Structure 1
Amino acid sequence: MSAPIGQHWQQVNECEDLLGVDFLARTFSFAGPKTKVHTTLIHHIGNPDATKAILYVHGYTDYFFQTGLAEHFIDLGYRFYALDLQGYGRSIRPSTPPNWCESIEQYGQDLDIALATIKEDGVDQVVILGHSTGGLVVSTYLAQPYALPERESYYNKAFPEVIGLMLNSPFLALPFPPAVLNFVSWPVRILVSLLPFSYLRAKKINIYSKSLHTVFGGEWDYRLDWKPPRGFDLSFHWLREVIIAQRRLANQRLAIPTLICHSEISTIGKRTVKEIQQGDGVLDVHSMQQAAKKTFTNLTQASIPQGFHDLYLSHQSARTNYLSAMTQWLEKLD
């Protein structure tokens, strides 16, 4: 994990968020690996006196726009926050290529800023919710050697206690079935290590995107410049850092109470929207499950029939089951 960044972050903006009057956005700037970067903390203004909060971290080629997810946790009595990590969504800047990172660990800087700010807002306990690559980011963060008291001392800031972790289809393993995962991981790692500055160009609109956005007949309306249907060009360097983070995490053991939610099946490679929508069209569910069992020693799993890769963006029945699974788990956590 990257060393803490000290007291060098600066809040540069606070305003009503693009999601409307119920949401506030605060932007922070700080020194990234190569240039100044930004991170954006969005929060729902409901339950201002609550001392427990949910912090949501999005996935790859993504940003926070799921207002109904925030409202669900507000209805449960939590405060709700979400991050647009450096290089994503609200935090994209001309000097920062979208999705670029030197290592997965650098997003610990964003999380430090978010948690310290949440504590300043009066929150004492936080449950982190990570989707896809966000699940890898937050798991890597919680496995870091910098324990909470050390971070507090370094920054001279207080942090809330992270009491639980919820994972929505986390990117804990490459999208291959368990039987072939070990055979392909090393060749992929060697390839991306030999070509670290290469990109896989985004050319076609992927079927998963067609299953989501209203412009293609889906249910969701979001910014296509921040979550483009073709995706951003895939950096081989980014992929190498994902593989490294996955392998490191596989050798860690985390005792934090953890809920992993995933679809019942994978639908990778399906050719129609209807087929893709029967399960996770991005990651392999079984490899995800095996990776989670290796790392998390206090693990609860919830399988969501016909859940999409982002379970919240599923059709209503699967979305309801996903929200219910988190609600029930949170009730037991209390």
Structure 2
Amino acid sequence: MVTPPWCLLDSQVDLLGKDYLCHTYRLPGPVTMVESSLVEYLPAMPARTAILYMHGYTDYFFQGDLGPFFAKLGLGFFALDLQGYGRSIRPNTPPNWCDSLSQYHMDIRMALAHMRSAGIEEVVILAHSTGGLIASSYLAKQYDMDAANEQIPYPAIRGLILNSPFLALPFSPKLQLHMTRLIWWVVSALPFHQLRADKISTYARTIHRRFRGEWDYRLDWKPAHGFPLSFHWLKQIIFSQRDLLKQRIPLPTLMCHSKRSTLRQHSVEAVRQGDGVLDVESMKGAAGMIFQNLTQAEIDGGFHDLYLSPEPIRERYLSTIERWLNQQILL
């Protein structure tokens, strides 16, 4: 068996409490060694099928009720804080920075190998926003690369659940092509430029308890202003989205999204009525081209992160996932 390129540094009780364990791994990054965190929910009964959760941009895993929800369905639950995010932020690299989105494929491989060593035989990936783009690009590569020749044991990936995936820039289908070309030209001309927000985002005001929301997450790991937006990062997003549109992924896929986009709205109340970050129609159009076995589910009133929506909407989102898992005979 080939020795994997990562190593386990430690495992300890996670900040979410005694029901969660955090495994810290060291793995090779584009410049130097980096660290990645895999959070594991400790259920009463072991499972052979598990969920692997992946967060979005300027994000980390803090939704502690997801573990018990999936455990009641008989599933294990693991969540990644990718290198440079949340639990994995380190002083040697800027937060949320990447040379290429493909570098996060190493985090996914590490997580899958760990899950297999823990007795997990089948995995369903649950990914939000940019995590959805990263997970999809990883899966697309598995169909045309020799990753299987690594001789590292992985569980079988049986399904993909997307929560408002970042498959297209936040513009309407009519503007998508023109704006993507313009932004590509700008970010290519100014690769080292960054944009810094001078005020708290309206979306952040809808979700954090300090403002008008119900969630009390760490603002140093998920700042209300966001981290500085790197033009290099944005170029890699466009590159990955373009590449993914050329792929066809046969894996059973559920994409959940809000009924409407509210990203052009200015008031907190208006943004709360839908997805305040991405354009839903462009997201749906891209998904229809990429995924060959796609089920789309519209969650009326859902936020960009559907799980952070008000409780009745959140319950509809979770019920949609449970029904789909049953339909796919994954429970």
- Work out whether the TM-score is over 0.5: yes
Match of 2:6 in 1: 9
Cα distance between partner residues in 2 of 1:292 and 1:214: 33
Mapped partners of 2:66, 2:5: distance in 1 = 32
Question: What are the equivalent positions in structure 2 for 1:109-148 lying under 5 Å apart?
Answer: 109-145=106-142
**Distance in structure 1 (CA, Å) of the matches to 2:259 and 2:17:** 34
What residue is the counterpart of 1:151 in the other structure?
147
**In the alignment, which residue of structure 1 is the partner of 2:246?**
251
- Matched residue of 1:170: which SS? coil
Query: 1:1-334 alignment to 2 at 5 Å?
Result: 7-145=4-142, 150-154=146-150, 156-334=151-329
Query: Aligned AA for 1:81?
Result: F
Normalising by structure 1, what TM-score? 0.96
Shift of 1:202: 2.3
Summarize deviations over 1:171-196 as a string: whole Å, max 9, x none. Answer: 00000000110111111001001111
Gap regions ≥5 residues in structure 1: none
SS in 1 for 2:179: helix
**8 Å Cα contact 1:51/1:124 also seen in 2:** yes
Q: Quick one: which amino acid aligns to residue 114 of structure 1? A: A
Q: CA shift at 1:145, angstroms?
A: 4.6
For 1:18, give the aligned amino acid: L
Post-superposition Cα deviations, 1:56-99, rounded to whole Å, max 9, x if no partner, equal 00000000000112221111110000000000000000011111
SS in 1 for 2:141: coil
Could you tell me which amino acid in structure 2 is paired with residue 307 of structure 1? G
- Structure 2: which 5+ residue stretches go unaligned? none
CA distance in 2 between counterparts of 1:218 and 1:74 reads 27
1:151 positional shift: 3.1
Cα deviation for residue 158 of structure 1 reads 0.7
Cα distance between partner residues in 2 of 1:234 and 1:114: 27
TM-score (norm 2): 0.97
Q: Provide closer, same or farther for how the CA distance between residues 71 and 40 of structure 1 changes in structure 2, counting only shifts above 3 A.
A: same
Superimposed CA distance per residue, residues 259-295 of structure 1 (whole angstroms, 9 cap, x where no aligned partner): 0000000001211111000000000000000000000
**1:121-155: CA deviation from partner (whole Å, max 9, x where unpaired):** 0000000001000000000000115769x43542x
The 1:145–1:322 alpha-carbon spacing in structure 2 relative to 1, beyond 3 Å, is closer
Coordinate RMSD, CA, aligned: 1.3
Identity of aligned residues (%): 51
Partner Cα separation in structure 1 for residue 183 and residue 215 of structure 2: 33
In 1: Cα distance, 2:94 partner to 2:280 partner: 30
Residues 146, 13 of structure 1: CA spacing in aligned structure 2 closer, same or farther, 3 A cutoff?
A: farther
